[in-house]
């Protein structure tokens, strides 16, 4: 009985920590990403679209590929419940991500420098140097990953958000300052800002964790590291250097990560390796892609990350549902159901109002450069894609946290099929429909992954009374208000926007604001379970907030 109460208290603590992490993530993501949003609008008016395409697509793809392949698998495996009881072995394993990053960088840098189409040196100078700098930045960033995992596993809920937020803000300010005052530096501007980002990221993690170890580590029984030496690799005579089970799980996630990276960045790989779009067109696509994914970055990614943290700490990986503690299953089911309802409602809001306000947003943000041709159509489709991202992120957070290693291996094979199908669809649709085809291919891919997650979750809860997937279905009154808002704002755009002058645009915005208020009131009145859950978690977070790290 005492163990049950201890387990319950631990689950509640983890849930409160995950909830705080999600809320801090959202708040700081909004603050810092809005800063980036404004600065990018400034940058768009001072650099060429070719430069934008090379940096935002080509170099960022190299950075993301190395970082994802080398770091994601270690982080996921080492955050799973029961996987970090021997922290010396866990730290040793996490440090293996750096040699893996170097190993991955060598062929990728060669491909980026020698195989792929090179930008015109007269337009983009020093391209090869920038490739090396972006690869080097991944090695520096991964040097902080042991501390990042340590902080997340011990529920330092604010640390990651604050450090990453400050690093992003610092990078954006560097770019904006250099673009305004030293535009002659060209691509060096982005090399300097990238190194600034990773140095801020690394130094703040080491600075805070070392401070905590020296000042409070010996007094905190929940903090497993008692010496600064323990955050670096070390040998112990009485145990293996790394945990074999943990290493096997990491290998499984590495295989999955390779395929997931293709699915996540598939359109950029198609652009890069098949020259489907020019560097200028790639820059325009990436800008609209970033605008369309604001909701995903502000809201859905923090929710997915915090949800995965909660499920991985609450559920025993690979253990059948009937052998899991009842309190854990009840809490996990309730959270999954309410989160699905929440992300679907936010996603539908994005779809309904994004349709009528895409043109206006692009025209304000980037002028005719973005609002002309396929820009608004691309952003409208992206709004629908964001809804699918929201559902997929939440369902996959549960699936990846509860899968056994055998399930992970099986999923890797399915991911291979998803990857082949997605890349084929991207190539075909983009060649026939242009850049909009990339969004449609992403939508098809997300639907396939959601169907797989639904199948897993249905089977997982089949022997229980829980049906968390019902959370995806909004109530009839809410669906009615969404439909009415879509019609009203569509007619408003048709007759008031966007070439009729400022007063008409303001009227169009006011109509949208009123419709959003009506939708919000409808949700408060009709979705009582979700509202009560949010209130309960808010009170729980407030009540436990005094002891947070």
Runs of H (alpha helix) within 58-126:
60-67, 73-79, 87-95, 97-110
Task: Give pLDDT, residue 84.
Answer: 45
Cα separations in angstroms, 93 against 113, 149, 209, 486 = 31, 11, 19, 51
Would you state the pLDDT for residue 323? 80
Whole-Å CA distances, 180 to 38, 40, 45, 285? 14, 12, 10, 24
The whole-number pLDDT of residue 4 equals 53
Buried b (16+ CB within 10 A) or exposed e, 151-186: bbbbbbbbbbbebbbbbbbbbbebbbebbeeeeeeb
Angle at 64 between CA 61 and CA 66, to 5 degrees: 105
Q: What is the pLDDT along the chain (549 residues), one digit of tens a residue?
A: 545 555 555 555 555 555 555 555 556 556 655 665 666 677 766 777 788 889 988 999 999 989 988 888 888 888 765 444 578 888 888 999 999 999 999 999 999 999 998 888 888 889 999 999 999 999 999 999 999 888 888 777 678 878 888 888 888 889 888 988 888 898 999 999 999 999 999 999 999 999 988 888 667 777 888 888 888 988 877 778 888 888 888 888 887 767 777 777 878 888 888 877 778 778 778 878 777 777 676 777 777 777 887 787 778 777 777 788 888 888 888 888 888 998 899 899 999 998 898 888 888 776 666 777 677 888 899 889 989 988 998 898 888 888 877 887 788 778 778 888 888 888 888 888 878 888 898 899 899 889 989 998 888 888 788 888 887 888 999 999 999 999 999 998 888 877 667 788 888 899 999 999 999 999 999 888 888 877 876 666 565 554 555
Residues 6+ apart with CB under 8 A from 78: 84, 90, 93, 94, 149, 153, 246, 250
- Which one, of 476, 463, 453, lies nearest residue 523 by Cα? 476
pLDDT digits (tens, 9 = 90+) for 232-261: 988 877 778 888 888 888 888 887 767 777
Alpha carbons within 13 A on the beta-carbon side of 7: 16
Instruction: State the pTM of this model.
Output: 0.70
What CA–CA distance (Å, rounded) separates 543 from 47?
Answer: 49
pLDDT at res. 112? 95
For 177, the token pair is: 């300052």
Read off the tokens for 500.
Answer: 């009729």
> In which element (H, E) is residue 200 found?
helix 188-216
CA nearest neighbour of 232 among 98, 102, 70, 81: 98
Q: Which two tokens stand for residue 395?
A: 């369902």
**Sign of the Cα pseudo-torsion (275, 279, 280, 283, in order):** positive
Residues belonging to the chain: 549
CA distances (Å), origin 453, targets 239, 242, 365, 373: 37, 31, 37, 36
pLDDT score for 82: 47
The answer for 235, left when phi > 0, alpha when psi is -120 to 50, beta otherwise, is beta
pLDDT of res. 471:
77
* Cα 218 from chain centroid (whole Å): 34
Give CA 283 to chain center in angstroms. Answer: 21
Where is 405: in which H helix or E strand?
helix 405-433
Contacts of 489 (CB under 8 A, 6+ apart): 352, 353, 355, 356, 357, 508, 511, 512, 515
């Amino acid at each position: 009985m005492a163990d049950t109460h201890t387990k319950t208290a631990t689950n509640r603590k983890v849930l409160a920590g995950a909830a705080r992490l999600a809320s801090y993530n959202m708040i700081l993501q909004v603050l810092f990403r809005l800063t980036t949003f404004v600065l990018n609008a400034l940058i768009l008016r001072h650099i060429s679209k070719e430069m934008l395409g090379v940096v935002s697509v080509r170099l960022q793809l190299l950075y993301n590929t190395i970082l994802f392949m080398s770091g994601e698998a270690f982080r996921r495996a080492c955050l799973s419940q029961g996987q970090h009881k021997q922290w010396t072995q866990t730290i040793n394993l996490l440090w293996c991500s750096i040699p893996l990053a170097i190993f991955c960088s060598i062929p990728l840098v060669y491909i980026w420098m020698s195989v792929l189409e090179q930008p015109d040196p007269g337009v983009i100078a020093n391209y090869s140097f920038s490739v090396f700098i972006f690869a080097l930045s991944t090695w520096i960033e991964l040097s902080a990953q042991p501390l990042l995992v340590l902080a997340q596993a011990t529920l330092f809920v604010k640390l990651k958000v604050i450090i990453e937020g400050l690093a992003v803000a610092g990078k954006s300010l560097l770019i904006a300052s250099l673009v305004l005052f030293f535009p002659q530096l060209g691509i060096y501007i982005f090399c300097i800002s990238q190194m600034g980002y990773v140095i801020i990221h690394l130094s703040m993690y080491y600075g805070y964790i070392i401070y905590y170890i020296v000042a409070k580590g010996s007094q905190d029984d929940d903090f497993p590291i008692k010496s600064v030496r323990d955050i670096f690799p070390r040998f112990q005579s009485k145990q293996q250097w790394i945990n074999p089970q943990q290493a096997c799980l990491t290998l499984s996630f590495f295989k999955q990560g390779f395929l997931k990276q293709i699915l996540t960045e598939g359109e950029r790989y198609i652009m890069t390796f098949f020259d489907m779009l020019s560097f200028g067109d790639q820059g325009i696509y990436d800008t609209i892609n970033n605008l369309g994914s604001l909701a995903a970055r502000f809201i859905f990614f923090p929710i997915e990350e915090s949800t995965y943290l909660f499920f991985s700490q609450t559920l025993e990986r690979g253990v059948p549902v009937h052998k899991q503690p009842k309190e854990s299953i009840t809490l996990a089911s309730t959270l999954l159901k309410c989160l699905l309802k929440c992300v679907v409602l936010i996603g539908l809001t994005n779809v309904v109002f994004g349709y009528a306000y895409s043109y206006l947003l692009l025209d304000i943000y980037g002028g005719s450069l973005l609002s002309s041709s396929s820009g608004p159509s691309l952003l409208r489709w992206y709004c629908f894609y964001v809804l699918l991202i929201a559902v997929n992120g939440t369902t996959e957070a549960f699936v990846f946290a509860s899968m056994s290693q055998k399930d992970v291996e099986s999923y890797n094979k399915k991911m291979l099929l998803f990857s082949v199908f997605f890349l084929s669809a991207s190539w075909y649709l983009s060649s026939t429909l242009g850049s909009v085809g990339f969004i449609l291919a992403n939508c098809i891919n997300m639907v396939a992954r959601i169907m797989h997650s639904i199948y897993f979750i249905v089977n997982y809860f089949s022997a229980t009374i829980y049906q968390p997937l019902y959370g995806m279905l909004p109530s009839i009154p809410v669906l009615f208000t969404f439909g009415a808002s879509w019609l009203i704002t569509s007619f408003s755009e048709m007759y008031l926007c966007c070439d009729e002058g400022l007063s008409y645009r303001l009227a169009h915005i006011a109509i949208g604001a009123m419709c959003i208020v009506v939708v919000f009131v409808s949700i408060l009145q009709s979705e009582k379970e979700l509202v009560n859950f949010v209130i309960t978690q808010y009170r729980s977070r407030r009540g436990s907030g005094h002891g947070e790290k």
